[in-house]
Amino acid sequence: MWKLGIHCDSDYQVVQKEVTADASGDQDLECSWKTREKRWHSHGSVVLCIILLTNVLTASISFFLLGCGMKSAGCRCPGDVQPASKCHKYREDLTSNNMQAHWMSEVDYSLHSSTFLPWTASPTQYSADTADLGDSVDDAWKDLGVYYRLILLPEQYASAYNVSAEQHWLVTPEENENAPYAGFPVNIEALRHLHCINFLRQGLYYNYDFYRSNPSYFFSDGTEQEVRTHLAHCVDALRQLVMCWSDTDVLPILRPTDPEDKPHITDFTRVKQCKNFESLRMWVEERQWAGAANVAPKHGD
C-alpha cells in the first residue's frame, strides 16, 4: 500500500512506500525532535531580534531626547528648519554656567525651607511707618545691602553674563587707579531689586515727606519728575521680575475663626525653597569697589 508521508527537511508532502511499524515510529520520533529543534531555533531568533530592536529603539529615543534637551538651550532637533550643527549654543551655555559658578564659587547655592510671613496688622522693621520708627526703618534695609557699592566683574568672566566692552563700562588699572584689575562695574540683581522695593517704600504716601525732606537720603535728590520716573522704573522692573518667575505655587484662603464670617484672608504662610541670601550679601559686601560712589545715607552721627 501507499500512504502520504512527511519529509522532515521540507514543507512539501510526498508519496512514499509504506514502511514497517518500527521504521515508521523511528521516523516519527526523529521528525518530532527535528520539529522541536526548528521551533527552538525559530523562537530564539525571534527573542534575539526583539532584544536587538529594543536596544536600537532605546538608543534612538535617548538620542532624540538629548537633541530636544539641546533645543531648549537654543539648539535644533532633527527635522527642524535650522541644521543641528547650530547646537554649539548648548555647549556655550554650559561654559557660561561654569564661568559664573567659578566667579561666585564662595557663594552658597544650597536651598533651604523658609516659611513666609502671614497676613498681619503689625508691620515689620522693613515696613514700619517712619512716623513711628524714623531712620531705623531705613537702617534695617541698609543692613540688607541695598546701599552697597558696585562690584567689579572680572573681564574674563564678562561673556558668561552677556557683558561686553562694546556696550558696557569697562575700567582698567591703566585708566583708573581704583581698579585692581580690568573689570566691569556691576550691580547684583538681588540687591538691586531690593533697592527698588526700598525706594518704593520711601515713596509711600505716609513716608514721602520724611524722605524728601531729609538730605541724607538719595530720595531727597532730584526734581519731582525725576523721583516719579525712578519710582515708575522700579514698578516696571519688579513687575517684569515677577512675571518672569511666574510662580505657580498656590495661596489658599484661611477658614475664618468665627463661623459667621466669610472666608477672605489669604494664607501667606507658605513654605518655599529659598537660596541663601545672607551668603550672597556677604559675598557682595566683601567685594564692593572703592571706585564706586557711596550712596548710603548717614544720620544720627
Closest CA to 231 of 218, 243, 244, 242: 218
Would the pLDDT of 103 be above 70?
yes
Write down the pLDDT at residue 33. Answer: 47
Running DSSP on this structure, what letter comes out for residue 206? T
Flag whether pLDDT at 188 surpasses 50.
yes
Give the pLDDT confidence of 193-207 residue by residue, as tens digits.
999 999 999 999 999
24 vs 277: CA distance, rounded Å:
91
**Residue 80: per-residue pLDDT:** 39
Q: Where are the domains of the chain?
A: 1-103, 110-150+187-285
Distance (Å, whole) CA 167 – CA 218: 27
Rounded Cα–Cα distance for residues 102 and 55 (Å): 39
Burial of 135 (0-12, 13-18, 19+ CB in 10 A): middle
Chain CA centroid to CA 111, Å: 13
In the numeric block, the cell 513654605 is attached to 271
Give the pLDDT confidence of 204-258 residue by residue, as tens digits: 999 999 999 988 887 788 899 999 999 999 999 999 999 999 999 999 999 998 9
Q: What is the pTM of this model?
A: 0.68
Position 43 pLDDT exceeds 80: no
- Please report the pLDDT score of residue 255 as a whole number: 95
Instruction: Classify burial at 175, counting beta carbons within 10 Å of its beta carbon; exposed 0-12, middle 13-18, buried 19 or more.
Output: exposed
Residue written as grid cell 564678562: 158
Average pLDDT of span 113-125: 95
Percent of the chain with pLDDT over 90: 60
Over residues 20-30, the pLDDT tens digits come to 444 444 555 45
Per-residue pLDDT reduced to its tens digit, 121-160: 899 999 999 999 999 999 999 999 999 999 999 999 999 9
Handedness of CA 247, 250, 253, 255 (dihedral sign): negative
The pLDDT value recorded for residue 61 is: 57
- pLDDT higher at 177 or 100: 177
The single residue listed with the C-alpha cell 573681564 is 155
What pLDDT shows up at residue 100?
74
Q: Is pLDDT above 60 for 287?
A: yes
